[in-house]
Amino acid sequence: MVGLKLPTIARARRIWKTKAMDRLTESLTANYSDSIVEVLADLNDNFLITDPAIAGHPIVFASRGFLVMSGYSREEVIGRNGRIFQGPATDRRSVMEIREAIREERTVQISPLNYMKDGTPHWILFHLCPVVVEGRVIHFLAVQVPIARRSRSGRRSLVFGACRDEVREELGSRLDSFQDADNRGLEAEDLCEASDLEKQKATCAAKNILSILNYYRKHTDRALCGKRCSLATVAPLSSYLNISLGRIKQSFVLTDPYLPDMPIVYASDAFLSLTGYSRHEVLGRNCRFLNGPGTDVEVLQEIKDSIQADQACTVRVLNYRKDESSFWNLLHISPVRNATGKIAFYVGVHINENSKDAHGLSPKMRQLSAVAAVKVAVRSLSAGPGPSSRSSSS
């Protein structure tokens, strides 16, 4: 029996992995023409593209040049966060500078010490910039240029591809400072700086890739305008908020009460798994698309009344997935206030009545914990109200 089950389990895992990879690829094809992956694959630059709207801010594209440089395969990189390239001597200040640039949705160019798959450290010029479409950041582009020499120290070059032992010999006892958890790599930043030529190379590569993305975006808009026009009216969430919300594992959506028809502006991965919809099929729509012939109109009125009264409510409602199968949804809706106390969003936590929590938490506790986590994420933003509610709260 066991021998019969193992191939079945392995097959299921392969199917799950294939579907996961398809969802990540959809991050590109949902925003650009279907040929964008092939076009990007033909470029010789070393670069990554990440999606801040997906939980964990994963890599959704890795160029052939980057894979050769890092020693990883595509399957080992796609779906992972960029932190996998960091190591014991990676400067914490560089990491924090990258995080701050993502939070502020701006370009940054720094020279961190990264690591290849085999553990070899190497200096790179890291050029990160947001990919902006219709006022919202949909991706981040990270161009990476290997640095061939160290200009600050005046000593011999640190050859790209040098092994850890050679670096240790070069740095001597100072490498021990990298083991300090709070000052990891503080000496490293003074040891390597990119040349003007390397900086220019990274900047030009980024501009070229952005122009390609813009070109294929425009062609997609012409073909799919009718399908996605509703997204144009959705106020963008900041990348930092997207990343913070992505850490919450519960099934939930965030809606903007200041936009017409109160559309969804964020949908968690768990919600997409529960309903069977993809992210681009959900964003910009009102939650009523989950309703069907068996949905109780009195429950819908109860939800409407609670929203109008700026109050939370919990209901049990019959909803429908994309494949038209039904499920009893334990739905909890709550207003989410910003740091000034004004309502910025509404959060709706969706739980399948038949689902079991791995930690044994009751549906109510799962709902309340998700709401609490969302409120912390929203209030932590220095921007204050939600993007569309700034004018309403002024």
Domain span at residue 284 reads 239-380
The total number of structural domains in the chain stands at 2
pLDDT of residue 386: 43
Instruction: Answer yes or no: do 295 and 199 share one domain.
Output: no
pLDDT of residue 165: 44
Instruction: Answer yes or no: do 260 and 123 share one domain.
Output: no
pLDDT of residue 260: 86
Q: Is 168 among the domain residues? A: no
CATH code, domain with 123: 3.30.450.20
pLDDT of residue 237: 80
Instruction: Answer yes or no: do 209 and 277 share one domain.
Output: no
Q: Is 95 among the domain residues? A: yes
pLDDT digits (tens, 9 = 90+) for 32-71: 887 888 889 889 899 999 999 888 899 999 999 999 999 9
Instruction: Answer yes or no: do 253 and 372 share one domain.
Output: yes
pLDDT digits (tens, 9 = 90+) for 334-389: 999 988 889 999 999 999 999 888 778 899 999 999 999 999 999 887 444 444 44
- CB distance 330 to 316 below 8 Å: yes
Q: Is 140 among the domain residues? A: yes
pTM: 0.62
Q: Is 373 among the domain residues? A: yes
Q: Is 86 among the domain residues? A: yes
Q: Is 201 among the domain residues? A: yes
Instruction: Answer yes or no: do 277 and 348 share one domain.
Output: yes
Instruction: Answer yes or no: do 272 and 335 share one domain.
Output: yes
pLDDT < 50 stretches in the chain? 1-4, 151-190, 221-229, 232, 382-394
Instruction: Answer yes or no: do 253 and 345 share one domain.
Output: yes
Instruction: Answer yes or no: do 245 and 332 share one domain.
Output: yes
- CB distance 378 to 336 below 8 Å: yes
Instruction: Answer yes or no: do 120 and 245 share one domain.
Output: no
Q: Is 173 among the domain residues? A: no
Instruction: Answer yes or no: do 15 and 136 share one domain.
Output: yes
Instruction: Answer yes or no: do 287 and 201 share one domain.
Output: no
Instruction: Answer yes or no: do 208 and 294 share one domain.
Output: no
Nearest to 232 by CA among 267, 279, 265, 269: 265
